[in-house]
Structures are given as C-alpha cells and as structure tokens.
Amino acid sequence: MRRLEEVLIVEGRYDKNALSQVVDAVILETSGFGIFHDRQKQALLRRLAEQRGLIVLTDSDAAGFVIRNFIKGCVPPERLKQAYIPDVPGKERRKSAPSKEGKLGVEGMRPEVLLEALEKAGAHFLDEERSARSAERISKADLYRVGLSGGPGSREKRAVLLRRMDLPERLTADGLLEVLNALMSREDFFGLTEE
C-alpha cells in the first residue's frame, strides 16, 4: 500500500473505505453538503492544507463538482490538488438503484482506477526511506497514556485539547488521532500534551 503525503478529502464514509484499501493516508469526509455549514471543518481543511496539502476526490456527478468548487473557495489554490474519476455508467453494489446521473461514484471504482486518479492529480507518495523516518506515528495507546482516550475524564480532556488547537468539537478520538498525525510528529504531540 502506498503512503500519501497529502490529506484526501472525500464525500462520505463509503468513499473513505474504498480509498483506505488503496492508500495509507489521512482521509476526511465532507459529509456531502454538510461541509457548507461546518465552519470548524472548513477551518480544519485550511489548516491541513497549509501543513500537508489537500487532494479532493469526489464523485463525477453534479453534487461532487459543487462540493469540489466549495472547497476550492475555502483553501488556497496552491495547497489543493484535484483528482478525478472517469465517468463510468453503473451502480454501486450496496445501492438498489443507480445514482441520479447513472454513474459510479468513488466507492464503485476499482482500486487501480483510484490510484491512477491520484497519480494524475500529482499526489506525492512518500518513498520508503521517508516513510521509515516518519513511522513514529501517534497511536491510540499514546492518546490513552496522556488521558485523551479510554479513561475517566478523557472526553473532557479531549474537548479542552480540541478547543486549544481550534479543532472541531465533534471530532472523535479516532478522528483526533488522524488529525494529530497529519499535523505533528509523535515527539511534538507529547510536548503539546505536557504543557
């Protein structure tokens, strides 16, 4: 599995599941049009764009392009890449009927098509040497160790950290873990939580 430097932005959880089978990356969902009203998530996207860069990969239907264009307006263009899937007629297995436009979405694409879309967008895949150096990722055990997960008062401690870092208040422990790994090293994390 290839490791991606940029953060991937997709529409929903099925898209995220499909891509997590193809690349090792931080993958965030827009919750469809939910991104339009979620100021905290918009701020998070700007922050991640500044730190790592973003790649938007939405369905190739009208709704996907509306979401794409909205994100384009939120993030500096030099920190944003656009990945496109081809127009393929059909329907996803989990659905009883095809989409309004009759096209497969991100979740219905074969893994090699998704990988090719990322490559064409100019995705930066980390080489093995760099991956080995950055292998020291923040883990769930680290969150537990500093009291941010799985213990008494962990939800409250997490809420304090989320406010302090100006992150969305609804971010789960798993979501926080993804964001922390996108924003900082494990060493920086322990420095931050000891303050």
The model's pLDDT over 62-97, given as tens digits with 9 standing for 90+, comes to 899 999 999 999 999 999 999 999 888 888 888 888
Residue 38 has pLDDT above 70, yes or no: yes
Residues contacting residue 101 through CB under 8 Å, at least 6 positions apart: 61, 62
Pull the structure tokens for residue 95. Answer: 């659905």
Give the CATH fold of the 2-128 domain: Dna Topoisomerase Vi A Subunit; Chain: A, domain 2 (3.40.1360)
Residue 44 has pLDDT above 70, yes or no: yes
Cα gap 10→30, rounded to integer Å: 6
Going by DSSP bridges, is the β-strand pair 80-83/2-3 parallel, antiparallel, or unpaired?
unpaired
Summarize the confidence of residues 35-44 as an average pLDDT.
93
Neighbour tally for 18: CB within 10 Å: 21
23: nearest Cα among 119, 136, 92, 132: 119
Identify the H or E element spanning 64: helix 62-74
Cα gap 190→146, rounded to integer Å: 8
Q: Work out the burial of residue 61: count CB atoms within 10 Å of its CB; fewer than 13 is exposed, 13-18 middle, 19 or more buried.
A: middle
φ, ψ for residue 21, nearest 5 deg: -85, -15
Report the chain's mean pLDDT, rounded to a whole number: 88
Q: Work out the burial of residue 54: count CB atoms within 10 Å of its CB; fewer than 13 is exposed, 13-18 middle, 19 or more buried.
A: buried
Cα gap 182→190, rounded to integer Å: 15
Q: Where in the chain are the domains?
A: 2-128, 138-194
User: Is-contact 58 82, C-beta < 8 A?
Assistant: no
Residue 14 has pLDDT above 90, yes or no: yes
